[in-house]
Amino acid sequence: MAHNIKGVLISREEIAKVVDDLAARISQDYAGKELVVIGVLKGSFIFLADLVRKIDLPIIIDFMSVSSYYGGTKSSGVVKIIKDLDNDIEGKHVLIVEDIVDSGLTLQNLKEMLLTRNPASLRVCAAFDKPERRKTDITAEYTGMLIPDEFIIGYGLDYDGSYRSLPDVCILSVDGGNE
Ligand code: IMP
Ligand code: MG
């Protein structure tokens, strides 16, 4: 399938401002507490790195890898745990950091699973959100930017494993690959 980069949707400067705002809100909301930040691999790694350096709290960082995408531009709605957390989250204040909420199925499944481990609290921070595509009623407590129903790449987000290292968020058009 032919695909090409249509242009920048969100510049690195805009992203930096959004990250600052999110970090300020999180620092305020959890003041006096220790936070366990869970990065959902791989898409969140750049956002997480930027975010945690701006949060003014003691932080433990852990990662999970779940899979709901199998090389295409549509979520399958099936979540499989590929790498579990290294640490116990019971009694901890946990913040899941995601790259993007699309159908919401990944997050819904992940949240349900993590809640069975009895954290003190569990919230979600997503860099980007495509509300038009939602198939569940899940919303992240902290959302960086709402974006239109387009497939985006860069700032950690990939298409088939590529483009994660682009510093700006760009739109990818896939000829013949829509839906
Ligand atoms: P959901 O389960 O449909 O919400 O899908 C969430 C996951 O799909 C995200 O964590 C991304 O890995 C991937 N995803 C959804 N939309 C995009 C996109 O526009 N670009 C790249 N990855 C995406
Ligand atoms: Mg992801």
Residue ranges covered by each domain of the chain: 12-148
Whole-number Å distance, alpha carbon 39 to ligand 2 midpoint, is 9
pLDDT value at residue 80: 81
Determine if residue 91 is left, alpha or beta; phi over 0 gives left, psi from -120 to 50 gives alpha, anything else beta.
Answer: left
Q: Fold for domain 12-148? A: Rossmann fold (3.40.50)
Alpha carbon nearest to ligand 1 atom 3, residue: 103
Whole-number Å distance, alpha carbon 99 to ligand 2 midpoint, is 6
- Nearest atom in ligand 1 to the alpha carbon of residue 40 is 10
Determine if residue 163 is left, alpha or beta; phi over 0 gives left, psi from -120 to 50 gives alpha, anything else beta.
Answer: left
Confidence band, pLDDT 50/70/90 cuts, at residue 174: confident
pLDDT value at residue 2: 76
Taking 60 as the threshold, does the pLDDT of residue 96 lie above it? Answer: yes
Of all residues in the chain, the percent with pLDDT exceeding 70 is 91
Which residues are found with C-beta within 5 Å of the ion, ligand 2?
Answer: 43, 99
Rounding to the nearest 10 degrees, give the CA dihedral for residues 169, 43, 51, 146: 50
Residue 88 bears catalytic tag: no
pLDDT value at residue 27: 98
pTM of the model: 0.92
